[in-house]
Chains A and B, each alone.
Chain A
């Protein structure tokens, strides 16, 4: 459902939007994004949620990934395996619990199917990138393997900023396990870009800009033509200063 751009009425509608995205604009940006995608035949589609206006962008690709996990994941005692994947984002090594950890085997490059979804987060008022990966035999890649598929240039950045980390989450619309790039820092990189575009009177499609930053981290490239060919959604100043929040209908 739609809630408007944000609170506050000072300044123009454009200034108010700053780095946040309302759901309606998200949908509009996605539709414009899709138009260009169709011209490139690069595989994006819009998935509508049954019986609602909500939806998300979806794409599957084949790529190579580093797969190392054994078919059967072994439960091991804590003194044998350190939980290194999660110690990247949290520095507690005091867990003496015994979790199942992927067996570290010889690394191999194999064909991996990636599935990417771009959803809207109403809590953070930004898009969020969900993805999952599986081998051609249908085995889901584990977090370690996904982690290894992240380009080395990005790994350090993710390590030092816990809230940019890739974690496993439940897909809020499908209920299945996906990996997610945490959205709470989106504002930090979107704000300067949007501000600069405003000052230079340039068009910016939020989804294109956002995806070109987060996509490459997880193997999703955004061809340059998106940046030049995809427009901003038409700007309609809202008629009421307050966003039309739910629950305001009388009775």
Chain B
């Protein structure tokens, strides 16, 4: 039986084989070869694609290059979503490698956030961690940490250092024993068939009468559409880190073990494949 700590490692080291192809209308001096890369599920596109940029810049003139951005099958990819979430949401049931198109022009201003430097990614990452702690601990744990501790969380992610990251992150996963869990669970449920990008609400891991809430309880309360009745065939898949956890899984356990480094449970609800 796998140890709970093994789950943490499996989540951290998850990878997605990806093929980057330059958008056909980009102006090049000679033909651009596709570029292959294993992307970390828990990181962010703009943090791990320097090599992609360098590769394509070799065949382009500087004046034809603006801020790099990506799309998958015509949908601009939001760099501020973890890579694994983007894959689960848009490309779960497609063949590997994941085929992403690279752009250097016509940045979709309305749809994508700009990412001019790594400090923007760091700010976004830390902002998520702060928000998660506001939900879990009324911000007490994160505010008690020093600036260098915050930095350690970011550096751990940036440099793919599991131990360095978790040395700090474990503090964010603690809770008073008598409480039985966090104050509220940081989660977001992402929908593909809606204008609304995600659902986020206040939800406790333990009910007032002491029952442990499960993933199923969360969905029933917040997005009941995701759960099918017994008699009908399953319409949706509920995916976290590329797997479908059992709906009976305790939410507190999921929060401690399947959260992303930003301390949020990012949950995708996607149409079940009809084969």
Contacts and interface: CB of A to CB of B under 8 A. Distances in A.
B208 A248 contact: yes
Interface stretch (B10-18, B196-204, B226-234): B196-204
A46 interface: no
B117 interface: yes
Contact of A246 (B78, B110, B202): B202
A182 B116 contact: no
Given A75-B65, A247-B213, A175 B196 contact: yes
Interface stretch (B23-31, B167-175, B216-224): B216-224
A170 B116 contact: no
Interface residues of B, number: 51
Contacts of A246: 201-204, 221-222
Given A170-B80, A246-B221, A73 B131 contact: no
A177 B117 contact: no
B58 to A, nearest CB: 14
Contacts of B204: 245-247
Contacts of A74: 63, 66
A170 B67 CA distance: 18
A90 B65 contact: no
Contacts of B73: none
A234 interface: no
Contact of B218 (A124, A143, A247): A247
B120 A176 contact: no
Contact of B114 (A50, A168, A172): A168
B67 A184 contact: no
Contact of A175 (B67, B107, B195, B203): B195
A173 interface: yes
Interface stretch (A92-100, A205-213, A218-226): A92-100
B260 interface: no
A136 interface: no
Give me the 9 closest cross-chain CB pairs, A-B, nearest first: A99-B116, A100-B67, A175-B197, A140-B109, A246-B221, A3-B202, A247-B221, A99-B117, A83-B117
Given A97-B50, A99-B116, A100-B116, 20 more contacts: A1-B201, A50-B195, A74-B66, A75-B66, A86-B123, A87-B119, A97-B117, A100-B66, A123-B200, A143-B114, A163-B130, A167-B123, A170-B80, A170-B113, A173-B196, A173-B197, A175-B111, A175-B195, A246-B222, A248-B208
Nearest to A82: B117
Chain A interface: which size bin? 35 or more
B62 interface: yes
A34 interface: no
B134 A140 contact: no
Interface string A220-251: 00000000000000000000001001111100
9 contacts: A73-B67, A122-B200, A123-B135, A163-B130, A170-B78, A173-B197, A175-B195, A246-B201, A246-B222
A99 B120 CA distance: 11
B100 to A, nearest CB: 19
B169 to A, nearest CB: 19
Contacts of B139: 184
Interface in B179-203: 183, 186, 195-198, 200-203
A177 B65 contact: no
B71 interface: no
Nearest to A139: B109
A184 B197 contact: no
A176 B111 contact: yes
B202 A177 contact: no
B118 A177 contact: no
B92 to A, nearest CB: 19
Given A49-B196, A83-B116, A90-B119, A176 B134 contact: no
A99 B115 contact: yes
Contacts of B200: 122-123, 172
Contact of B67 (A75, A169, A248): A75
A247 B115 contact: no
Given A73-B67, A92-B119, A247-B221, A122 B114 contact: no
B123 A90 contact: yes
B112 interface: yes
B207 interface: yes
Interface in A63-90: 72-75, 83, 85-87, 89-90
B273 to A, nearest CB: 25
